[in-house]
Amino acid sequence: MAEIIERLEMNHITKRFPGVLALDDVTMNLQKGEVLALLGENGAGKTTLMNILYGLYHQDEGNVLLNDKKIQVQGPLDALEYGIGMVHQHFMLVPNMTVLENIALGMYQRTRFKMDLEKVRKRVLEVADRYNLTVKPDAYIWQLSVGEQQRVELVKVLTLGANLLILDEPTAALTPQQTDALIDLLRQMITQDTSIIFISHKLNEVKAVSDRVAVLRNGGLVFEGATKDHSAEDLAEKMAGREISYPKTSKKEEYGRPILQIEKVVAEGDQGTDSLQGVSVEVRSGEIVGIAGVSGNGQRELADVINGIRPVKEGRIQLDGVDISNYNPQQIIDLGMGYIPEDRMHEGTIPSFTVRENLIMKDYRQEPLAKNFFLRKGQIDDHAASLIDSFKVKTPSMATSCASLSGGNIQKVILAREITRKPKALVAAYPIRGLDIGASEYVHSQLIQAREEGMAVLLISEELDELLDLCDRIAVMYEGKVLDVLPREECTKQELGLLMAGVSHGKE
Amino acid sequence: MEKNKADNYRYLAVSVIIVLASLLIALLLGAFLFLIAGANPFEAYGVMLTQPLDGLFGITEMLVRAAPLMLVGLGIAIAFRSGILNIGGEGQIMLGVIFGTAVGLALPEMPKIVLVPVIFLSAFIGGGIWAGIAGWMRAYLNVNEILSTVMLNYIAIQVYLYLLRGPLIDPKEVSYGTGVPQSAPLPEAAWLTRFIRGFRLHSGLVIAIVLAVIVFLFLWKTTVGYRMRAVGAEPKAATYSGMNVKRNLVLAMVLSGGFAGMAGAVEVLGVHHRALESISAGYGFSGIVVALFGGLHPLGIIPASAVFGLLIVGSDMMQRAVEVPASIILAIQGLIILAIVSSNIFLRNPKLRDRLFKLLGGGKEAKIDPEGGRA
């Protein structure tokens, strides 16, 4: 076991990437038994700073002191030797191994010859039980939703016994209750010789969990102070460097005709069981209907069946009066369906393709972009230039590959493509997951715009603030069923949270 | 903007340096092989790399080899770009030869302008069907295409040998009783034009280069090419945007095999004028190396096939001059594949790239997203 970390200092850290000053003379410290929240927009340098601490990068200038001894972490394994463990925003899991095997991987380096998986299982279940994080030890990672995978990551690093935890947006996939439980747990953990660096965009959580907060902007430390002395609004402004207000929708008197009608749909999940067990939802023109729920309760399957990617076993889906159940994706797209998928890196875009190529993914055969089997470069360039301009995509050029854009800009590429196609219905799955405040604000304003233009928007999310800001009605999904569809006015956070945890409204 | 352009060239230079360095390492390792074989590596490389270029014979022979390599390489590139691996070039060449020869022999009276395209088309169909089987099995039965293409090679070779000894054998071989397994010669109208009297260089090279340009236009300028590249790069995203991934896999494989089939036709019509036993000379496999060496890009494959043509001719010459077995060239080819494949790891290593990039004086102005890290 690693030595207990009494005090960690990062002094005058500077890191340059080609052409960019990623970190500029950042000084930060952390005491035992403390939760430090690290705030900043995407690109502010949070991840770079943590990667230096974790040994993935080395600083160009400055030093790191651990218990007043200078250290240079060589890599993740080395970091664990020092007791530093990290849960990454992008999961570091092997998809075709089980949960148990993935966790065992982290211990494999410390054992010789034989790996006692049963021992690991016991330890994992112990940790999972103690921290109230349910995981399925024998499920394969590829079968799990993003949210479930995040839970595996948490259990993994806890099992490996780190005593300084770096959590990069750990609550992104948790229900409010689970988030509260995690916050309680983190508060408990710090009483037992543990310290935590907590990276998040969610200021409410930062307020609840942290003792101190440090804000990075454009690679520099712009603020550091005790959390209790500053309001969430205050911190948001420090992060963005300007005033922030999330757009909200207001109640409408009248809605249009029903556009997307999902009737008692049953469909299989990847594990071969019915992940959708008779789901019914209806979205009208000019309406945003939210699907709340912890991810892994059938949301992915729901988005898949609507878009023709997964077969409908029973039930019926109609798009503007046309039965589209088991149509192929192309037919559904042609009938006027837009889709912002959960996996924006590998489903919503092709990372190795340029921004320009990604913008024509659904229209590459249509005039004016193409004619007689030939792509028309001039038209495609104009199309790209106008979308990049009107959706404010920050990219060096339209010929830059999507892989080198930030998450927010990738999402803008997808939004630009989907919304300008003017679909009748739009399915948006976790559209702001992992995005910073500025980008989230933008995505929301676009969804509201789509609503104003009469689109029927189905918004799948686990962020209650997002749902309450945008949705006209909210349905809660739990274990493949929709529990209740409530008008927004009748929803409270507590109630939705209970429904997401499977406690049915007014019963039980 | 200008600064950005200079940086782009620097990035390109970084890639070229990495590839050249790995090639150099491959040749260095090869030098040990020469030492073990008891030859002077400098002399051996000297002969191998320069002698073919010293005189018309070497140059024309190099280009004669380049034509089929280029065609196979193009096919491989189409498949790889579409996300499916084709290791079955050898078998597809055989099928191309069978179809092309059979059609050529069946149409003795045709004028050249019709006959040559018809033979090419049939060779394309032959190779395409053969590869299409593997593509279909992968798409609809989830059979690994590496396995199926390799296995189909064995079947193709045996079928080919059977046909050459039976139905396709030259009747003269039977009546004279010599029994050499080869087909009757094709009508002269089917022969590809030879450019220089006394040398084998033929118009197949021009056909291959034209096809390379067509493949380039196809993959990057047409809707079908766009779709195939999308399916290859990210099948999930392709499905999401309405593309039929399975159908595209089969199409890619058919096109890929078709090109290998045409390589067979080039050998028959350009070099031998009939089908004979060892017609392919391993082009189906070397073509894979050519495709990788050419960066899976049609316009890179043109020079890459010339380089490999040079290696093949050079190794023959070396065998005579330095007295080492020509099969050592196979070993060197293997080393080159390893070098190219492993150079990929370095090409993708951001730390190494950054360091080289800085050494070249780049990145003073350009903005690169620090969190992206891989700009």
CATH of the domain at B72: 1.10.3470
Q: Is B295 on the interface with A (CB under 8 A)?
A: no
Q: How far apart are CA B68 and CA B283, in angstroms?
A: 7
CB A163, CB A81: distance < 8 Å: no
Spell out which residues of chain A touch residue B7, defining contact as CB-CB under 8 Å: 19
Q: How far is residue B268's CA from residue B291's CA, in Å, rounded to a whole number?
A: 22
Question: Whose CA is closest to A289, among A261, A313, A329?
Answer: A261
Q: What tokens appear for A227 in the block?
A: 């959390």
B43 falls within a domain: no
Phi-psi region of A132 (alpha: psi -120 to 50; beta: other; left: phi over 0): left
Residues A29 and A146 in one domain: yes
**pLDDT of the residue at A37:** 93
How far apart (Å, rounded) are the C-alpha atoms in residues A501 and B331? 63
Residue from A196, A161, A162, A193 nearest A182 by CA: A196
Shared-domain flag, residues A315 and A349:
no
Residues B296 and B242 in one domain: yes
Of A22, A360, A405, the CB nearest to B370: A22
User: CA of A17, closest CA in chain B: separation in Å?
Assistant: 7
Q: Are residues A219 and A305 in the same domain?
A: no
> Hey, what are B80's tokens?
């790889």
Q: Give CA separation, A235 vs A56, A220, A315, B3, in Å.
A: 29, 15, 48, 38
Q: What is the sign, positive or negative, of the torsion defined by CA atoms of A109, A115, A121, A127?
A: negative
A71 and A142, same domain (yes or no): yes
Asked if residue B365 is part of any domain, the answer here is: yes
Nearest to A19 among B227, B367, B373 (CB): B367
pLDDT class for B324, splitting at 50, 70, 90? confident
Give the gap in angstroms from C-alpha B142 to the nearest C-alpha of chain A: 17
> How many structural domains compose chain B?
2
Does A159 fall in a domain?
Answer: yes
3-state helix/strand/coil string of B335-353: HHHHHHHHHHHHHCCHHHH
What pLDDT is attached to residue A502? 76
Write out the two tokens for A266. Answer: 């049953």
The conformational region for residue A247 under phi > 0 = left, psi -120 to 50 = alpha, else beta, is beta
B219 and B107 both lie in a single domain: yes
pLDDT-above-90 percentage for chain B: 55
Same domain, B158 and B298: yes
Do residue A16 and residue A105 come from a single domain?
A: yes
In this prediction the pTM is 0.78
Question: Is A246 within 8 Å of A444 (Cβ atoms)?
Answer: yes
For residues B355-367, give the mean pLDDT: 64
pLDDT value, residue A507:
43
Strand order in the sheet with A20-31: A20-31, A7-17, A61-66, A69-71
In the predicted structure, residue B328 carries a pLDDT above the cut 60: yes
- Give A328→chain B minimum CA distance, Å: 7
In this structure, are A35 and A158 located in the same domain? yes
Nearest-neighbour CA in chain A from B223: distance (Å)? 5
Q: A343 burial class (0-12, 13-18, 19+ CB within 10 angstroms)?
A: middle
Question: In DSSP terms, which residues pair with B182 in a beta bridge?
Answer: B276
Query: The CATH number of the domain where A459 resides is what?
Result: 3.40.50.300
pLDDT for res A197: 93
Q: In this structure, is residue A2 part of a structural domain?
A: no
Residues B73 and B171 in one domain: yes
Please tell me the total count of domains within chain A.
3
What pLDDT is stored for residue A427 in this prediction?
Answer: 97
Do A411 and A457 lie in one domain? The reply is no
pLDDT at B372: 38
B28 and B52 share one domain: no
Q: Quick: pLDDT tens for B274-310.
A: 999 888 878 998 899 899 888 889 999 999 999 889 8
- CB under 8 Å to B364, separation ≥6 — which residues? A19, B3
Residue A505, min C-alpha distance to chain B (Å): 35
| Chain B CB contacts of A353 below 8 Å | 229-230, 233-234
Chain A residues whose CB is inside 8 A of the B357 CB are: 18
The predicted model gives B120-139 an average pLDDT of: 97
Residue B105 reports pLDDT greater than 80: yes
CA angle centred on A107, ends A102 and A110, rounded to 5°: 155
In terms of residue numbers, what domain contains B356?
1-38+326-375
Is the pLDDT score of B7 beyond 80? no
Range of the domain at A66: 7-240
Q: Which residue did the predictor score with more confidence, A129 or B221?
A: B221
Decide if B231 contacts B83 (C-beta within 8 A). Answer: yes
Name the residue type at position A130: R
Task: Looking at the structure, tell me whether residues B154 and B245 fall in a common domain.
Answer: yes
How far is it, in rounded angstroms, from Cα A209 to Cα A204?
A: 9
Inform me whether the C-beta atom of residue B5 falls under 8 Å from chain A C-beta atoms.
no
Sequence-distant (≥ 6) Cβ neighbours of residue B201 within 8 angstroms? B60, B61, B63, B64, B194, B195
Q: Are residues A402 and A457 in the same domain?
A: no
How many residues does the structure list for chain B? 375
- Test A20 with B370 for CB contact under 8 angstroms: yes
Does residue B202 sit in the same domain as residue B178? Answer: yes
Partners of B233 on chain A (C-beta within 8 Å) are: 350-353
Distance between alpha carbon B362 and the CA centroid of its chain, in Å? Answer: 35
- Taking CA atoms, what residue in B is nearest to A378? B221
Can you tell me the distance from the alpha carbon of A173 to that of B330, in angstroms, rounded to the nearest whole number?
54
pLDDT confidence bin for B5, thresholds 50/70/90: low
| Pair B219, B357 in one domain | no
Tell me: pLDDT of B163 over 60. yes
Strand order across the beta sheet in which A212-217 lies? A84-87, A164-168, A195-199, A35-39, A212-217, A220-226
Q: Are residues B261 and B346 in the same domain?
A: no
Continuous H helices in B37-55: 41-50
Q: Please tell me whether residues B33 and B125 are part of one structural domain.
A: no
Residues A250 and A234 in one domain: no
> Is residue A28 located within the same domain as residue A121?
yes
Query: A267, A311 in Cβ contact below 8 A?
Result: yes
B positions 107-146 inside 8 Å of A (CB):
none
A178 and A262, same domain (yes or no): no
Instruction: List, for chain A, all residue ranges whose pLDDT scores fall below the cut of 70.
Output: 1-2, 18-19, 89-90, 108-114, 131-133, 146-147, 172-175, 192, 504-508
* pLDDT at site B115: 94
- How far the first Cα of chain B sits from its last, in Å, is 17
Question: Residue A239: helix, strand or coil by DSSP?
Answer: helix
Same domain, A198 and A215: yes
How far is it, in rounded angstroms, from Cα B115 to Cα A421? 49
Q: What residue in B sits closest to A19 (Cα-Cα)?
A: B363
Contact across the interface for B354 and A341, Cβ inside 8 Å: no
CB atoms under 10 Å from CB of A251, counted, come to 8
Do B281 and B319 sit in the same domain of this protein? yes
Cis peptide before A368 (omega within 30 of 0): yes
What pLDDT shows up at residue B371? 39
Q: Can you give the pLDDT at residue B145? A: 93
Q: Is B242's CB within 8 Å of A341's CB?
A: no
